[in-house]
């Protein structure tokens, strides 16, 4: 099994958004209605990742007294975590023990979703610390970056990497991408860049999206909205329980072994949450 990774160099990216277009084109994703200045203080468009936008260049601007305005932008997409909470939360698993779930790891180390088996329960979306997967409201399926597994299987680079005109994006064995990121960070520091962060080496067991980010790390907007494991599991349980409650016939076997306990835990968590809300309303 290969262990490949994406690589992103913020010092070379010029935010042309060619990767956004290539992702849309290759995956035949529909356009979204957008607005100019969709993100506060920036040129970001569209506003966020969605079921039909899997790659996005996020814009952040920083105003300071001595430097005027500086732009910080980065590519946002699935991190393809080694310790992938979306896979852990996915309740759809074949009857045979050990079979791949609907959300699963590919033979190349990246994470993708089997659209044919996905039930659209939203557990993966609730569990992701980075808020990447989204359930398509019409297809009722979870959508996100696939790692272009179809291209990689044919010996091609992912569409976003293939179109990058400044070599800010790369793809290959994870060990090589980490080494490349560390070497570039050292080169940037030697050239006078005071702050350089290599992100993704250790986070969540090691990401398969490695970032080189020059300048203040906080300005790049990488936020783990749900870093607490207890919160992640409770939200995933609630999403699964809510989906179960909407089905005309109880679904008992979709999750395979162990999902009965998960569903029960989700129902309990959802019930406690509603009880707390009612109590708060009465005060």
Which range of residues forms the domain containing residue 82?
A: 1-225
Q: Which of 112, 111, 92, 94 lies closest to 236, judged by CA?
A: 92
Quote helix, strand, coil % in the chain, to nearest 5.
35, 20, 50
Range in 79-83, 184-188, 270-274 the model is least confident about: 270-274
Distances 90 to 83, 127, 165, 224, 226 between C-alpha atoms, Å: 13, 9, 37, 19, 17
Angle subtended at Cα 122 by Cα 142 and Cα 174, rounded to the nearest 5 degrees: 60
In whole numbers, what is the pLDDT of the chain averaged over residues? 83
pLDDT band at 236 (very low <50, low <70, confident <90, very high): confident
Q: Is residue 61 part of a domain?
A: yes
pLDDT band at 225 (very low <50, low <70, confident <90, very high): low
23 contacts 163 by C-beta, under 8 angstroms? no
* pLDDT tens per residue, range 75-97: 999 999 999 999 998 988 876 66
Q: Which of 122, 35, 200 lies closest to 113, judged by CA?
A: 122
Q: Which of 134, 124, 139 lies closest to 46, judged by CA?
A: 134
Give the pLDDT of residue 250.
57
Structure-token pair, residue 72: 């910080």
Q: Whole-angstrom Cα distance, residue 257 to residue 98?
A: 10
pLDDT band at 252 (very low <50, low <70, confident <90, very high): very low
Higher pLDDT, 228 or 179: 179
Q: Is residue 139 part of a domain?
A: yes
Q: Is residue 23 part of a domain?
A: yes
Higher pLDDT, 241 or 203: 203
Region 187-214: mean pLDDT is: 95
The tally of CA atoms less than 13 A away on the side-chain side of residue 162 is 14
51 contacts 90 by C-beta, under 8 angstroms? no
Distances 81 to 77, 165, 194 between C-alpha atoms, Å: 12, 26, 28
What crossing angle do the helices spanning 229-246 and 259-282 adopt, rounded to 10°?
90
DSSP string, 137-175: TTTTEEE-----HHHHTTTPPPHHHHH-SSS-EEEEEHH
Region 124-133: mean pLDDT is: 92
> Structurally, how many domains does the chain consist of?
1
Give kind and range of the element (H or E) at residue 198.
strand 196-199
Percent of the chain at pLDDT > 90 equals 57
Distances 85 to 14, 36, 269 between C-alpha atoms, Å: 32, 34, 18
Region 48-59: mean pLDDT is: 94
Taking 70 as the threshold, does the pLDDT of residue 58 lie above it? yes
Q: Is residue 115 part of a domain?
A: yes
State the DSSP code for 220. Answer: G
Taking 50 as the threshold, does the pLDDT of residue 280 lie above it? no
Region 53-60: mean pLDDT is: 92
Give the pLDDT of residue 42.
66
Region 228-251: mean pLDDT is: 70
Taking 80 as the threshold, does the pLDDT of residue 230 lie above it? no
Q: Domain with 206 in it: what CATH number?
A: 3.30.70.20
């Amino acid at each position: 099994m290969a262990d490949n990774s994406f690589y992103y160099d913020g010092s070379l990216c010029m935010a042309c958004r060619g990767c956004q277009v290539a992702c849309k084109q290759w995956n035949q994703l529909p356009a979204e209605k957008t607005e100019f200045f969709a993100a506060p203080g920036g040129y970001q468009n569209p506003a966020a990742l969605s079921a039909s936008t899997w790659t996005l260049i996020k814009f952040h601007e920083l105003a300071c007294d001595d430097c005027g305005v500086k732009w910080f932008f980065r590519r946002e997409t699935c991190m393809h975590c080694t310790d992938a909470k979306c896979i852990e939360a996915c309740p759809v698993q074949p009857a045979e023990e050990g079979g791949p779930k609907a959300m699963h790891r590919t033979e190349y180390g990246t994470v993708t979703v089997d659209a044919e088996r996905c039930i659209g329960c939203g557990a993966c979306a609730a569990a992701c610390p980075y808020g990447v997967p989204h359930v398509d409201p019409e297809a009722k399926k979870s959508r996100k970056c696939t790692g272009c597994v179809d291209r990689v299987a044919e010996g091609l680079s992912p569409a976003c990497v293939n179109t990058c005109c400044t070599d800010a994006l790369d793809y290959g064995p994870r060990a090589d991408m980490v080494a490349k990121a560390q070497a570039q960070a050292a080169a940037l520091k030697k050239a006078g860049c005071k702050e350089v962060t290599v992100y993704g080496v250790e986070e969540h067991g090691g990401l398969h999206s490695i970032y080189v980010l020059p300048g203040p790390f906080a300005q790049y907007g990488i936020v783990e909205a749900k870093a607490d494991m207890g919160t992640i599991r409770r939200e995933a349980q609630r999403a699964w329980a809510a989906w179960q409650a909407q089905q005309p016939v109880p679904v008992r076997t979709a999750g395979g072994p162990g999902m009965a306990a998960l569903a029960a835990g989700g129902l309990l968590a959802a019930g406690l949450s509603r009880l707390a809300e009612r109590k708060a309303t009465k005060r």
